[in-house]
Amino acid sequence: MVSLRRSIDDRANNYNYKYLNCYLETITRTVSGSLVLVDIATIFYDHLTTSVIAFIIVHIISCLLYFLSSFKPKKFLISQFIIFSFIFIMYSMYNFAVAITLLIAEGYNILLLRLSLSGCSIFLEIYAIYISVIYYIRLKNIEDYSESSFENEIEESNVQLIIEHEYEGNY
Mind listing the pLDDT tens digit of every residue in the chain (171 residues)?
A: 455 556 666 666 666 666 667 788 888 889 999 999 998 988 888 777 788 888 889 999 999 998 988 888 888 888 888 888 888 888 888 888 887 887 777 766 666 777 788 888 888 889 999 988 888 888 888 777 665 555 555 555 555 555 555 555 555
Residue 93: closest CA among 124, 119, 57, 58: 119
Sorted by sequence, the CB contacts under 8 Å of residue 68 that are 6+ apart come out as: 77
d(CA 112, CA 48): 15
- Residue 37 is predicted with a pLDDT of 92
Cα separation values, 3 from 10, 92, 119, Å: 10, 54, 53
Full-model pTM: 0.69
The pLDDT of residue 14: 65
Q: Is 62 exposed, middle or buried (0-12, 13-18, 19+ CB in 10 A)?
A: buried
pLDDT at 110: 65
- Residue 77's identity, in one-letter code, is L
Q: Closest Cα to residue 73, out of 6, 114, 146, 132?
A: 132
